[in-house]
Amino acid sequence: MSELICNLPAQKVYVRREYLRDLEDGFGEFVDGVWVSCKSIPGRAFYFETYLPQYGALFDKLPISAFVSRPKIPDPDLPLNNLQFWNCMDYGITAIHKQFIGSMDYEVLTRDFGIQKGIYVATLDNYHADVDSIDYSTAETPDEHKSFNLLQLDNGQFCVYPNNRMRVYDNSLTPDKPLQPDFKVSTREYQVENGNQTRLGDTDEYFWKTKKESSS
């Protein structure tokens, strides 16, 4: 299992050149790139590593606001806090592609720019990777954990948004007028062993029975 860094899909992007110049100059210019990896440091935005083929170089530790899907200034041009809603939650990070929902239509509810539409790229998720260190984060707390869905927005930017700030629509399955979610945040930890009162230390039977089964 990965810690701090994970692989990303080889997504072609354009890097806003000002981010390659430490925001000193290069504004309005763009450089071809391909995503390589993503880093997760608690309390910070996700950091993306990008291969820059024109330079034969790698550039690391850029936020999601550094990237666009076409070489032009987005309209609207969303700042970082509208492209990533929450900071990273732990050093443990993994990236997956949720195949079933990969081709559906997406809407995200941003902080300041209303609903923005987009398509799915991948999902980043945090977890507490080192069982020997104190878990000071909430990456595994039911009512605080977030999945970070990485989307390409129609305005040309990319975002990483949690499930509860998105709607996902399928052409075949979703009705024309979908219901408004009225869900409650999940606060419970589910498990199936503690409190079960089934102890098997005194039997070596392969097809064992519970006490209730044995007495019936």
| Closest C-alpha to 151, from 71, 82, 93, 91 | 82
The answer, yes or no, to whether residue 197 has pLDDT greater than 80, is no
Cβ proximity of 82 and 47 under 8 Å? no
Q: Which one has a higher pLDDT value, 57 or 140?
A: 57
Separation CA 114–CA 198 (nearest Å): 52
Q: Stretch 59-68: mean pLDDT, rounded?
A: 97
pLDDT at residue 130, rounded to an integer: 79
Q: Which of 20-24, 141-145, 178-182 has the lowest mean pLDDT?
A: 141-145
Secondary structure (3-state) at 27: coil
Sequential DSSP letters for 177-212: SPPPP----------SSTT-----TT---SS---HH
The answer, yes or no, to whether residue 82 has pLDDT greater than 60, is yes
The answer, yes or no, to whether residue 1 has pLDDT greater than 50, is no
Q: What are phi and psi of 120, to 5 degrees?
A: -85, 140
